């Protein structure tokens, strides 16, 4: 098979996977909305709590997408993306809290939704900009970058645990009642937030896919595979890394903002390094550098987490660690890679 033929074949497969993922997301959202609209006594009716749970899964899928963008296509393993997710959640949480009680003086501007929406992307974006500029300018890469991102999220967890931050201390922000004047306790609002989360995942998926197909995406993949050569031909690699890292942090912030009103709480445990590591496991299981694999991995792991934590809560973390080891040893390309392998075998057989 010639190089041109292989490139054309891979492009067609990528196009097909994009359409299939988009259709599955859209159809899935429509099915949930229709089932929720059925009468409560109907056997197929989905109540508000199930819709909220599915909405939470969608926010996790959005976070996994952000991690896959920088890890799968740029080769940067961040173990601190939970920090960006939490900052977006806290920005939205402060707005929701302000609807019931006045905030501290310096937080008062977040009582207005446009300002809060801006803070959702600016807070994680600015943190990523400053942190990334310092790290990439110093050419910190590989495991060293992973370690300092984990140190970053741990430091933020300790800071947000302090009552002096006026962020609720270890309890965090909770008891959210209204969003844009609508009660969060209604089933209609649960559906609206679910749809908003699904649309955010779909738009982010299309946006990330457009980036990976662009010139910027090709430079990212070249940097991942041979950074020294990319520098040699004249590209400012640190600028490429910084731009994609900031974009990824903003996507994570949006995921956190959608998470807070659906779950009803945002606290310092979201900054915990373990949560950021768990996100990496989602992407590894689904298959990095595919985007749709990250969505699939986040959905599968969190679905089984919901099932198993009720049966064996103390054993869940051991199962998750064992799953990561098994995937690393036997499925290095994740579930998406396994699906691609089976498809190639079927094509050869036919």
At residue 2 the predicted structure's pLDDT band, cuts being 50, 70 and 90, is low
* pLDDT of 68 strictly over 90: yes
What per-residue confidence (pLDDT) applies to 48?
87
Closest CA relative to residue 172, chosen from 255, 93, 108, 85 = 93
For the record, the structure tokens of 315 come out as: 């054993």
Distance between start and end Cα atoms, the chain: 17
The encoded tokens of residue 158 equal 């300790």
Ramachandran category for residue 75: left, alpha or beta (phi over 0 → left; psi -120 to 50 → alpha):
left
Q: What is the mean pLDDT of the chain?
A: 88
Mean pLDDT for 24-36 is 95
Q: Which helix (H) or strand (E) holds 341?
A: helix 334-349
d(CA 273, CA 275): 5
- Which of 5, 340, 2, 24 has the alpha carbon at shortest distance from 201? 24
pLDDT digits (tens, 9 = 90+) for 309-324: 777 777 777 877 787 7
pLDDT classification of 3: cutoffs 50, 70, 90: very low
Contacts of 229 (CB under 8 A, 6+ apart): 222
- Pick the range with the lowest mean pLDDT from 7-21, 126-140, 195-209, 260-274: 7-21
CA 213/CA 43 separation, integer angstroms? 44
pLDDT of residue 17: 85
Closest CA to 167 of 71, 63, 93, 100: 93
Out of 99-108, 219-228, 318-327, give the one with best mean pLDDT. Answer: 219-228
The per-residue pLDDT for range 223-278, each reduced to its tens digit, is 999 989 999 998 999 999 999 999 999 999 999 999 999 999 899 999 999 899 99
Say how far apart CA 101 and CA 113 lie, in whole Å: 15
Residue 5 has a pLDDT of: 53
- Indicate whether 287 pLDDT > 80: yes
Q: How far apart are CA 223 and CA 227, in angstroms?
A: 4
Q: What is the pLDDT of residue 168?
A: 78
Q: Put residue 166 in one of left, alpha, beta given phi > 0 → left and psi -120 to 50 → alpha.
A: left
Higher pLDDT, 91 or 100: 91
CA distances from 226 to 7, 40, 212 (A): 19, 57, 17
Contact 140, 116 (CB under 8 A): no
pTM: 0.93
What's the pLDDT at 117?
Answer: 94
């Amino acid at each position: 098979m010639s190089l041109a033929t292989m490139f054309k074949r891979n492009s067609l497969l990528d196009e097909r996977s994009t359409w299939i993922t988009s259709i599955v997301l859209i159809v899935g959202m429509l099915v949930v909305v229709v089932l929720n609209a059925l009468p409560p006594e109907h056997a197929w009716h989905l109540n508000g709590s199930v819709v909220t749970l599915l909405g939470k899964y969608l926010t996790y899928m959005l976070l996994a997408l952000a991690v896959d963008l920088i890890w799968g296509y740029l080769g940067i393993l961040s173990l601190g993306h939970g920090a960006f997710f939490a900052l977006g959640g806290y920005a939205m949480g402060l707005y929701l809290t302000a609807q019931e009680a006045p905030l501290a003086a310096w937080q008062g501007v977040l009582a207005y939704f446009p300002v809060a929406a801006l803070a959702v992307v600016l807070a994680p974006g600015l943190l990523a900009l400053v942190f990334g500029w310092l790290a990439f300018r110093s050419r910190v890469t590989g495991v060293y970058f992973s370690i300092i991102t984990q140190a970053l999220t741990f430091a933020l967890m300790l800071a947000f645990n302090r009552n002096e931050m006026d962020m609720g201390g270890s309890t965090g922000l909770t008891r959210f009642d209204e969003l844009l004047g609508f009660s969060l306790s209604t089933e209609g609002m649960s559906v609206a937030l679910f749809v908003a989360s699904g649309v955010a995942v779909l738009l982010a998926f299309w946006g990330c896919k457009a980036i990976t197909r662009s010139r910027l995406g090709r430079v990212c993949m070249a940097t991942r595979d041979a950074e020294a050569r990319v520098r040699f031909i004249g590209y400012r690699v640190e600028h490429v890394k910084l731009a994609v890292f900031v974009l990824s942090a903003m996507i994570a912030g949006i995921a956190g903002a959608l998470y807070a009103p659906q779950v009803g709480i945002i606290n310092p445990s979201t900054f915990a390094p373990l949560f950021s590591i768990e996100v990496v496991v989602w992407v590894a299981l689904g298959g990095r550098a595919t985007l749709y694999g990250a969505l699939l991995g986040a959905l599968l792991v969190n679905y089984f987490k919901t099932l198993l934590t009720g049966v064996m809560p103390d054993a869940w973390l051991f199962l998750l660690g064992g799953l990561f080891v098994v995937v690393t040893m036997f499925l290095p390309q994740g579930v998406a890679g396994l699906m691609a392998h089976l498809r190639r075998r079927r094509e050869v057989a036919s």
